[in-house]
Amino acid sequence: MSTSDRRQTGGGRARRVDAEANRSRILDVAEQVFGAGGESASTEEVARLAGVGIATVFRHFPTKAALLRAVLVRRFDRLREQAEALLDTADPGTAFFDFFRHLVADAATKIAIGEALLDAGGDSDGEAAEASNGLRRAVGALLRRAQQAGAVRDDVELPEVYALLVATSRTAAHAGLDEEVRARALTIVFDGLAPHRHQPGAG
């Protein structure tokens, strides 16, 4: 390979690295911007805060919907990875309930991004749905381990647990619950998921 060829190859690699760094920075900023501003946020604001031109944003993501879908997929994937990392912890019950609590705390940002995606004319089918299902499966794995450890009642299954998770998350996000109220609400939910305990004199 000639010196000129090596220079061209090196330049191409550098451009790819720069492009990937730009893409990652755009996604980071878009997650913050749309997570806080929802559908009112703009790709122009994302470009400005990411320190790139709007043309760079659209080179990576041809539409606002494409950008938001990528943000949502990456967020689902990150949450799934966090859940999977908890599968080998020594206390499966704590892992399950702590992650449930984490998802509720995270919900407002995720919901804002999802609503912005719908407003931009996109949908959560395809890649986003697959990523969401991956997170759901990881929560199911945490649930099974918690049940095997005796920390969660064994007569509940993932569909009803996920329904509780979604309902609690949406309430916390849309009702603007403060941390104290949210914590009390979660305590009630967790008490309902705890194994039944025989009460003295009962039965």
Task: Return d(Cα 83, Cα 75) in angstroms, integer.
Answer: 12
All CATH 1.10.10 domain ranges in the chain, comma separated: 1-62
Question: Would you state the pLDDT for residue 138?
Answer: 97
Question: Would you state the pLDDT for residue 200?
Answer: 45
Question: Would you state the pLDDT for residue 77?
Answer: 95
**Domain 64-196: which CATH number of 3.40.50.300, 2.40.110.10, 1.10.357.10, 1.10.3720.10:** 1.10.357.10
Task: Return d(Cα 103, Cα 109) in angstroms, integer.
Answer: 10
Question: Would you state the pLDDT for residue 177?
Answer: 72
Task: Return d(Cα 165, Cα 94) in angstroms, integer.
Answer: 16
Return the CATH class of domain 1-62: mainly alpha
All CATH 1.10.357.10 domain ranges in the chain, comma separated: 64-196
Question: Would you state the pLDDT for residue 2?
Answer: 54
Task: Return d(Cα 164, Cα 69) in angstroms, integer.
Answer: 25
Question: Would you state the pLDDT for residue 189?
Answer: 95
Question: Would you state the pLDDT for residue 59?
Answer: 92
Task: Return d(Cα 14, Cα 17) in angstroms, integer.
Answer: 5
Give me the average pLDDT of each 10-residue run along the chain (203 residues): 53 72 92 82 90 92 93 95 96 97 90 87 81 96 97 96 93 80 93 76 45
| Residue 104, helix vs strand vs coil | helix
